Amino acid sequence: MVIDANTVKQLRDKTGAGMMDCKNALTESNGDLNAAIDFLRKSGVAKAEKKGSRETKEGLVYSYIHAGGRLGVMIEVNCETDFVAKTDGFVELAHNLAMQIAATNPIALDKNSVSDEIISKEKEIYTEQAKSSGKPDNIIEKMVEGRLAKFYQENCLMEQAYIKDSEKKINDLVTETIATLGENITINRYTRFAVGETDSEN
């Protein structure tokens, strides 16, 4: 089928993918824009891992205000080019990440960002809880590891279940967007503000 140039442009504006990739995706999807976006996402996930080492010096600072101005999030999401930073897909990712932070209040970006002090404290609590159950040491160790893994899933942004799709982690959401947009994407920093909270509570 003949793919309309305007439709190719629409897909490119939404995803930031290359012209030939967009044309191919539309051909495979019989000109259906949404199906073409899904095609780009699926075909690109395998390539996304390879983009993980590329520098991300462009991007945007996105702000999200919730609950009648009583809760807000600012997040800096980075990509490789200014062109991709302006696409609908990139802005949508920033919005969804900000909503996730507003809803879950993660204490760290990922496992590596959690301070040693917090990890030691959590391990100590889990160990005491496991010991009180009277289990042998080798079982206690496994119980502590399991509870620590759950702690990461609940408190680290990249490990959290996505609030719009619990089958997906935030890490998966970012990887899918990398696949669709064709550039490496990183989250540099974020801050969550809530009325009445102090820094120690946030």
- By residue count, the chain amounts to 202
Please check whether the domain covering 5-109+156-194 is classified as CATH 3.30.479.20: yes
CATH number for the region 115-154 comes to: 1.10.286
Measured CA to CA, the distance from residue 191 to residue 196 in angstroms comes to 15
pLDDT tens for 5-23 read: 888 888 888 777 777 888 8
Contact in structure between 80 and 57 (CB atoms under 8 Å): yes
Which parts of the chain register pLDDT below 70?
A: 1, 44-53, 199-202
Measured CA to CA, the distance from residue 44 to residue 178 in angstroms comes to 8
Q: Partners of 64 in the beta sheet?
A: 73
Q: Please list the residue range(s) of the chain that carry CATH number 3.30.479.20.
A: 5-109+156-194
Burial category of 123 from C-beta neighbours within 10 Å (exposed 0-12, middle 13-18, buried 19 and up) = middle
Measured CA to CA, the distance from residue 175 to residue 186 in angstroms comes to 10
Q: Partners of 189 in the beta sheet?
A: 76
pTM equals: 0.72
Q: Please list the residue range(s) of the chain that carry CATH number 1.10.286.
A: 115-154
Predicted local distance difference test score (pLDDT) of residue 56: 86
| 89: its two tokens | 């897909």
